[in-house]
Each structure stands twice: as structure tokens, then as C-alpha cells.
Amino acid sequence: MSFFKRLKESVSRTTDSVTQKFRSGLSKTSASLVGAMDSVFSRNRIDEELYEELEEVLIGADVGVNTTLEIVEKLRTEVKERKLKDPGELKSLLSEILVGILQGDGEDEGMNLKEDGLSIILIVGVNGVGKTTTIGKLAHHYKEQGRKVVLAAGDTFRAGAIEQLEIWGERVGVDVIRHQAGSDPAAVIYDGIQAAKARGADILLCDTAGRLQNKVNLMEELKKVHRVISREVPEAPHETLLVLDSTTGQNAMQQAKIFHEATRITGIVLTKMDGTAKGGIALAIRQELRVPVKWVGLGEQMDDLQPFDGEQFVHALFVEDIEQETGTDPN
């Protein structure tokens, strides 16, 4: 059985709505990336020019130079070991390599939340990436699961940030703990923890400031917040999620490196994936930072923030080829 067929069988175990969200959200990347690959893999033979063209396509999709070189080297190795001669066979092989990169060792997939007691999720990222919206959508996701959620408005410096989070709290139907603008973020988070404990909450989602232009001050604030959280709830934060705007490409990678140096990032949220043709940034982040992508924004609706799934991601990219091989209509 080819990898395309195995991939389709694996993806079919999830709901049709999730599969459709990934297909719709990644349609621009699929058209750009896989469309360009068609010309590469339609060559008459597997030669050095093919590999060079493939490198250009991957780099153009924001996969990144280092990750691209690793992918192409893995492809070369597999081609030799399997003694492949037909370029048409490489697309399925490439998809297998991409899934392997996105899944990593599999041990860090999913959210590390407590089954009983309070779980704290710290949300970090620069202004403008969709951080507050992500918090609102996460609150909706967990409330739909029957969890009691509280929000802490720790971004006390950006104009309107507290009010924006309160709007999300009202929309989702969860409490928001806030101070006045300009207050100490760590104090807000402290009060958020006490309120979450008192109200028997399952999850506390903590917003933070994102003023990257004041990098030193920002990172010191994050460290202070982290100390307060770990002092009040041992082993917390249980997740520290970095929100990145996928439309910014390699700039998002630079942001990730800066935040990763300051605080232990456990996962990435890639927003606005539906608005870019360069979704390869997910591969670059996973491979170069060794940090898993845990959530992906595939649209503007409340439930369009989806848990990231490497198989769903690759399936959405190669869906036309997969359906052609398995003899079914993608529509």
C-alpha cells in the first residue's frame, strides 16, 4: 500500500468537518506548493536538476533553507534505498517525509493538561499576531469540552487589549480577571490564579504583553510571570504557547527564536494559515526549533482554531493527488 493510501485511511478516522477545515484552510498553500511540485515531478528522470528545482519550491513556500536541505537529503537517501527511477513516485515519498517531520517523536503532541485540578496555559507572542483572538478561541474550545475556563488579562500595556479580552470573555461566556491598564502583569496573573482556584476552574488562560521592540523589558516581564505561576501552582505553566502569524513567514521564525530563548515554549499556535500560500513555515518551525505546532488557525470562525495534526496537514496539501490515486472524488 502506498503512503498516500495509508495517509488517507488514517485521516478518515477523524471527522469530515475537521478534514474539510484543513483542506479549506490550506488551499492557498496547496495550490502554490503542490502546484509547483507538479512541474518538478513531471520531469523525465530523477536527476540533480530535479532536486535543485524542488529546493527552490520548498524555500519559496517558507520551509526554510536548513529544513529544505534536510528534506531533500532525506529524499535522496530514500530514492537510492528504494531504487526509484520514476519522478512520479516522489510526491508520495515526499509526503511521507513531511509527516515524519511534523510528528517528530510523537511524545510532545497534544496539550499537557491535568485531568484533575487547575491547568495553566501561558500565551505569549508579539502584538498583532492574533494572540487575544487565539485565547478567546481556546476558551471556546475547552468550554465546549465541558471545562470551566477563566481568562487573565495580563497584557496591560497595549491599548484596548484588556477590553478586547473582556469582549471575548462575554462572547464565550467565561470570567475575565483584569486590572487597570499599565498594571503589573504578574500581579494580574497572580489574581487570575487565585480566582481560578476559588471558582474551581479547570483551565486558566493567561494573556501577556507583546512589545517586542522593548525586547529586554518584555522578556524580563515574562520571566517574572513565569516565576509567579510556578510558585503558586507547582509544575505550572502546564503549557506555554507562542502565537505566530503564519503570513509573516521567516519573520515568525525569528520571533520564535527570541521567545524560545526567554521562556520554555512548549508549543506553537500558527494563526492565519488560511491567508497564506506559504504554510511551509510549520515545517521550518518544527524542524529547526524542535517545538511542536499544537494549534493552527484555519479561518475566522470560532471553531476554526484546530488542534494541529501533521497527517491532516499533509493530506490537505496533497489531497488532489491522494484522491486521484485512491480513485475517489475530492469534492
Q: What is the mean pLDDT of the chain?
A: 90
Q: Are residues 284 and 322 in the same domain?
A: no
Q: Is 125 annotated as a binding residue?
A: yes
Half-sphere exposure of 183 (CA within 13 A, CB side): 20
Q: Is 331 annotated as a binding residue?
A: no
Residue pLDDT, tens place only, 43-61: 889 999 999 999 999 999 9
All 3 cell numbers of residue 256? 520564535
Share of the chain above pLDDT 90, in %: 65
Asked if residue 114 belongs to a domain, the reply is no
Q: Strand pairing of 305-307 and 293-297?
A: antiparallel
Q: Is 127 annotated as a binding residue?
A: yes
As a whole number of angstroms, the distance between CA 325 and CA 5 comes to 8
Q: Are residues 56 and 172 in the same domain?
A: no
What domain count does the chain have?
2
How would residue 213 be classed by pLDDT, with cut points 50, 70 and 90?
Answer: low
What per-residue confidence (pLDDT) applies to 214?
Answer: 59
Q: Is 130 annotated as a binding residue?
A: yes
As a whole number of angstroms, the distance between CA 36 and CA 41 comes to 9
Domain residues for 133?
119-309
Residue pLDDT, tens place only, 92-131: 999 999 999 998 766 566 899 998 999 999 999 988 899 9
Q: Is 37 annotated as a binding residue?
A: no
The residue with greater pLDDT, 108 or 314, is 314
Q: Is 126 annotated as a binding residue?
A: yes
CATH number at residue 139: 3.40.50.300
Q: Are residues 7 and 138 in the same domain?
A: no
What would the DSSP string read from start to end of 288-300?
HH---EEEEE-SS
Is 327's pLDDT higher than 70?
no
Q: Is 66 annotated as a binding residue?
A: no
Whole-model pTM: value is 0.92
Half-sphere exposure of 129 (CA within 13 A, CB side): 32
Q: Is 100 annotated as a binding residue?
A: no
Contacts (Cβ under 8 Å, ≥6 apart) of 74: 97
CATH number at residue 66: 1.20.120.140
Q: Is 271 annotated as a binding residue?
A: yes
Asked if residue 331 belongs to a domain, the reply is no
Q: Are residues 149 and 261 in the same domain?
A: yes
Q: Is 326 annotated as a binding residue?
A: no
Q: Is 209 annotated as a binding residue?
A: yes
